[in-house]
A and B are shown apart, each in its own frame.
Chain A
Amino acid sequence: MTLLTALLSGLLFGFGLILSGMANPAKVLGFLDLAGPWDPSLVFVMGGAIVVGLFAFFFAYRRTLSLLGGNMQLPKAGKVDRRLVAGSLIFGAGWGIAGICPGPALVAIGMGETKALVFGAAMLAGMLIFELLENGKSVGKWSGTHRR
Chain B
Amino acid sequence: MLIDWSSFTPWSSLAGGLLIGIAAAILALFNGRIAGISGIIGGLLHLPKSDSGWRALFVVGLVGAPLLYALPFSLPRIKIDADYTSLILAGLMVGLGTRYGSGCTSGHGVCGLSRLSPRSAVATAAFMGAGFVTVYVLRHLIAN
Contact = CB atoms under 8 A, between A and B. Distances in A.
A96 B131 contact: yes
Contacts, number: 510
Given A122-B92, A125-B91, A34 B1 contact: yes
Interface residues of A, number: 122
Which DSSP category, helix, strand, loop or mixed, fits chain A's interface? helix
Contacts of A67: 29-30
B126 A48 contact: no
Contacts of A26: 78-81
B96 A17 contact: no
A74 to B, nearest CB: 6
B75 A131 contact: no
B104 A91 contact: yes
B130 to A, nearest CB: 3
B130 A92 contact: yes
A110 B62 contact: yes
Given A106-B37, A123-B95, A135 B47 contact: yes
A66 B135 CA distance: 41
Nearest to A112: B66
B87 to A, nearest CB: 5
Interface in A1-33: 1-27, 29-30, 32-33
Interface of B: 1-4, 7-10, 12-35, 37-38, 41-42, 45-48, 53-55, 57-69, 75-82, 84, 86-106, 108-111, 113-119, 122-124, 126-136, 138-140
Interface of A: 1-27, 29-30, 32-42, 44-57, 59-61, 63, 65-68, 70-75, 77-80, 83-103, 105-111, 113, 115-116, 118-131, 135, 141-142, 144, 146
11 contacts: A9-B24, A12-B22, A15-B65, A17-B20, A21-B9, A44-B10, A46-B109, A49-B18, A52-B21, A74-B115, A119-B91
